[in-house]
Amino acid sequence: MTQVPAHLLFVSAAFEMVASCLLGFVMLIPMQPWARGLCERWPPARALMSVHLDLVMLALMQAAAGAAVTAMPGNHDRLAALLLVTSGWLNVTPYAWRLVGVNAFALTGGPLQLFATSTSFVSTLALTGGWIVLLVGWL
């Protein structure tokens, strides 16, 4: 039963790595000679790179937390794992919103921008909270 938080963290990290790898293919397709026409319609690789790298970084954080939870189990590991997994998938949303022209980094604008920014804020709170829960459990 103590392995459940680590298992959740490792599985989520693996899925995020797979998502990042698939996004890597998406970034490469328009650069192929047979897909030149996509360059005008496809988001630029530079814009997709933010999502791609954020997925990798968040997956590595989850894997590190999974290893730490395995090495130093605590009473609140399940809560920390849920917070870190949730934030791992939500934290890429500001970069994804930017691909469709919504600035999820500024708490201004209409309802869509406020929703996007709020999601970004909640993901940052969850990420920070997850690590604080782990740290407090280890002290």
pLDDT of the residue at 1? 45
CA gap 89, 130 in Å, rounded: 14
Judge whether 10 and 77 are in contact, CB under 8 Å: no
pLDDT of the residue at 30? 81
pLDDT of the residue at 31? 80
CA gap 74, 71 in Å, rounded: 10
pLDDT of the residue at 77? 94
Q: Which residue, 87, 80, 77, 83, is CA-closest to 1?
A: 77
Residues with pLDDT less than 70, the chain? 1-2
pLDDT of the residue at 109? 87
pLDDT of the residue at 39? 72
pLDDT of the residue at 35? 79
CA-CA-CA-CA torsion sign (98, 62, 83, 130): negative
CA-CA-CA-CA torsion sign (134, 124, 99, 49): negative
CA gap 17, 14 in Å, rounded: 5
pLDDT of the residue at 49? 92
pLDDT of the residue at 99? 87
pLDDT of the residue at 56? 96
